[in-house]
Chain A
């Protein structure tokens, strides 16, 4: 193999929903689909942050593979045939959303992010009208100790975007997750009040990337909290350029 061929990424061709598309080696199904106008739902994925495949909304079918694969972390392969919507996938996505709604207290009518919420938008896009599963209503509490921001655990979906942006972009690693399974929750430092955090730089990136009203700016009332996420891919790109 000549040195040149190792530097030039190979081009792959594949089919997504029957559409012939091309991609570079190593690109993920999700990105290639988006480039071609095919939207695959995601909640934990955010451009500029590493993908973790945790929310499972972006699962797709790949011909010849019995397992469903997360589009955000699955690399394209030559000749792959991907289906992004099928009866089965739609059903699973609806169930995942229902499970998320059943897990904590997602009451849109009193939420700062009402109308600007990824979870709410996703439920609307998937025609979710009600939740069949019993609401679990755990007592999660609110941390309002920070001067500028509020953390409402009841609205958290544990997507870990805050954890990743703080670690990967801000480099502070203030956020993390404590506990297991249904008892898992995000913490700042060693589960100290956010306002007393020694590592938090108060940059607010976590607030901006949060998909729901779990992280918000103080002083925002119902439906006022809009989020700016465009800076994350920009920052990532700038760092790569350097």
Chain B
């Protein structure tokens, strides 16, 4: 190539060292400075779109959310500063405790099903010498469905009168259930469909972790006379500790933001399944139309989840 594009001069000079400074040392310094400014301008030109998107849709909303939580704002007249009023209103709402308890119940159950079961599944599948591909495919297939598809499909399965589940239960002589409509089962029903739809991700990650455990460790344990259980306890679990911790944090953060299952299966009004996200949605968009209260609740959720997210980021970045 003979023609040198103007913007490429910086790259050229970097490649050829100091050959571009035939004049005195002073003008060389000025040229270097000019070049550095030019380089930075170019770099920021590439960064501009990203910076703008982050500023407008990530950093600004964060600040706005915090400010809004201290304001009364009807978006017509100027917002009024109300101090902690939104927070007291949220804390005094009888649904506050309900929403948090329900969310914790969902997260707890989801961890039981979605954290422990995939581990056992992965442990077993990893021992198979056949059809591993099928197991990986089948368990991950539901994860690919749009979540609303899983939820609506299960809604038909759960139907107390015509649903598949009750048909099967009564077919084998077991008592039927009201599923999403009974206070006792409602939350479990939500967790079941959520686990079905999401457990593939955890299983695949566990499988990847298990595949990375050096075989010599098992061999050595076996020579020392360790039983299968002892091998799991003293080899598998210590080796998997990091992945298990990362997944635990990820799942806590994800399941505490549960929305679509309670929204679709039991509605935004059912006190049995009102979660923190449903309450935020209600405050802002349905019952109260109070963005200040919704923002205050969001800040509280952020404080709780931010800690888990920060821990997760620290762990994974350290691992790099």
User: Is B one of A's binding partners?
Assistant: no
Q: Which residues of A contact B (CB under 8 A)?
A: none
